[in-house]
Amino acid sequence: MNETAPICAMDAQTGGEWWRGAAIYQIYPRSFADSNGDGIGDLPGITAHLDHVANLGVDAIWISPFFTSPMADYGYDVADYRDVDPTFGTLADFDALIARAHALGLKVTIDLVFAHTSDRHAWFADSRASRDGAHADWYVWADANPDGTPPNNWQSVFGGPAWTWDARRQQYYYHQFLKEQPQLNVHLPAVQDALLDVTRFWLDRGVDGFRFDALNHSMFDPAFTDNPPVTDNRPRTRPYDFQVKKFSQNHPDVVGFVERIRTVCDAYGAIFTVAEVGGDDAMPLMKAYTAGNHRLSSAYGFDFLYAPELDAALVAKVLRDWPGTPGADGQSEGWPSWAFENHDAPRCLSRWADDAARAPFGRMIMALLVALRGNVFLYQGQELGLLQDDIPFHLLKDPEAIANWPLTLSRDGVRTPMPWDSHAPNAGFTAGTPWLPLSPGNIARAVSAQVGDPATLLAHTRAMLALRRAHPALRLGTVEALTVAGDVLTFTRRVADEAIACAFNIGRHRHALAAPEGTPLLALNGADAHHLPAWGVRFTKESIL
C-alpha cells in the first residue's frame, strides 16, 4: 500500500537562532570521563574530552544534572540549583568547561529540573518545619483523609502512592517520582520567581540553553481530584500505569510559566529552550509549550526513544506530526527535537537490530537522524554503536529498576561508562573502580578502536553530521513529497535554493526504485540509481531551476 502526502511548511529561516536545526550531543556526566580516579565521571573529565565531541561536528552539548544532590535519583534530585555537586567538581570547573566548549565552537545546554527538588533542599527543610514559615507553601502539602489515608489516588512514576506522610507538618507531601523528590508548588508565583532566578544564574555563567526536565509534571490540579482508571487491556508493570494522569500533571497553567521562562531567556539573546514532555497524549502539550515566538524553542520527542521497532510508518508519522504550518490558533508551530536514545531510554541498536544487521542498520539510522526536520540529539556513545548493557541485580543503581525488578528495563544499561581506550584499564574511563561495569563488547567499540578507520560508525557519524551542516535543506528545510511504500520511505527536504530527495529502505529486502534526477550526494549499503538493498539509503540533490 502506498501513502503519499505532501507536507506544506513554511520556509525555515534561522533568524540568527543558532539552535534551529542543530545537532546536540548529550553527556551523562557520571559516565563520560573520570578525571580523579573515584570511578565517577566529572566536569574536568568532560572538559578533557570535548575535542572528541567537537570533532564529531555537532553544534552543542547537553549536560545532564551536575548540581548538588544526595543522588537518590542520580542528580535529578537537586539540593542546590546554584552549585556543583562535589562528585562532579566545582563552579570553577564548570566555568572552565564553558570556556573550553566555546573555544571549540560548541554551545552548552544544561538540564533544569523544575518539577521537584531533593528533600535535602533548604527550601523543603523550611517548608516541612512549619506551616507558617517563608517556604511553607512552596511544596505540595495536604491533610490526610479522616481515616489517615492519602488525599487522593495519585500514584508515583517509580511505584506506590505519590504521597508520603511527614510527621513534622502532620500532612502528606506530594512527589511524582521518589519520596526523596518532593513536588514544588510551581503554581505559586514566588516559586516561579525563584526558579527564574536560577535560570538567570546559569545564563550569567554563559550557558546557551536549557532542557527543562519533566516540565509537564510541574503543575497539577489544585483540587486534588482523583485520576480515572485506564480502561484498555495493555500490560502494566507499575501502579502508575493503571491511571489516566488527567489531574496529577499536565495542568494548562504550565503555559504561563513557559512564557515567563521565554521572557527571561530572550533578554540574553538566542537561548535554546527545549521541553521534556512525556506521557500519554503528549503531542498537544508539546505544541502548546512551543507555539509562537513567546514560548519555548522546541519540544523533545519520545516517538523513537521507547519504540521496540523502527519502520517507515513510524518515521512518516513523526514527520507529519510536525509539518511546520501554523496551528489552529494561527500561531507558528514550534520546532521539534528528536533522539533515538538517551540516559533513560535503551540503546537503539539493541532495540532495533540483531547482531548480523547492526553495521548496515547503524549506518542507515544515522543517515535517517540527520535527515529529520528539527533538532537532532545524539547520546554519548551512540557514535560508537554502543549496545545496551545487562546489569545484574546486585549491581543496579537505578531506583526505578530496583523497585520494579525484573519487569522494568534498567536505565543503568544505557548509563554505563563511555569507553575511550580499548587497551586501557576500564577502557580509559577511570583509574579507579567504575560506578557501573563496562561490558567487553562495548569496550571493543571504544573510541581508540574506531578513530582513523573510515569503515567505522564513528567515521560515518562524522560524515553524516558534516553532510547535514553543509546542506541547508537538511538542517532547515521543509518536508515535501512524503511517501511510504512498505519498508521504503521517501521525502524531499527543501529550502529556498536547495532540495534533497531522501530514500530509505527500513527493511531487510531489496527494493527497486525509480532513478532520481539530480546529483548523487549519498549512497549507503549498496544503494544505486535503481535499487535500495536492505537498509539502503540514497540522497540526491535535485536541480533547482
- Residues with active-site annotation: 213, 276
Rounded Cα gap, residues 504 and 491, in angstroms: 9
Rounded Cα gap, residues 297 and 328, in angstroms: 19
Placement of cell 523513537 in the chain: 304
Q: Give the Å distances, CA to CA, from 335 to 75, 113, 297, 304, 320.
A: 28, 21, 6, 17, 13
CB 351 within 8 A of CB 386: no
Question: For residues 171, 176, 181 and 185, what is the CA-based torsion angle, rounded to 10 degrees?
Answer: -60
Rounded Cα gap, residues 16 and 51, in angstroms: 25
Return the number of other C-beta atoms located less than 10 Å from residue 217's C-beta.
27
340: left (phi over 0), alpha (psi -120 to 50) or beta: alpha
The helix/strand/coil state of 486 is coil
Alpha helices in 372-454, H assignment, sequence order: 399-403, 440-443, 447-450
DSSP β-ladder status, 519-524 and 272-276: unpaired
Q: Give the Å distances, CA to CA, from 191 to 211, 219, 221, 321, 326.
A: 19, 12, 17, 34, 33
Rounded Cα gap, residues 510 and 531, in angstroms: 7
Rounded Cα gap, residues 472 and 495, in angstroms: 7
Rounded Cα gap, residues 139 and 462, in angstroms: 46
Placement of cell 513554511 in the chain: 10
Residues 6+ apart with CB under 8 A from 183: 115, 116, 139, 140, 173, 174, 175, 176, 217, 220
Q: Give the Å distances, CA to CA, from 24 to 100, 231, 375, 379, 477.
A: 16, 39, 8, 9, 18
Rounded Cα gap, residues 273 and 265, in angstroms: 8
CB 480 within 8 A of CB 500: no
Residue 513 is placed in which grid cell?
526504485
Q: Which of 363, 398, 400 is nearest to 383 (CA)?
A: 363
Residues 6+ apart with CB under 8 A from 226: 152, 153, 154, 247
Half-sphere exposure of 48 (CA within 13 A, CB side): 15
- Which residue type, as a one-letter code, is found at position 368? L
- For 32-97, the DSSP string reads T--SSSSSS--HHHHHHTHHHHHHHT-SEEEE---EE---TTTTSS-SEEEEE-TTT--HHHHHHH
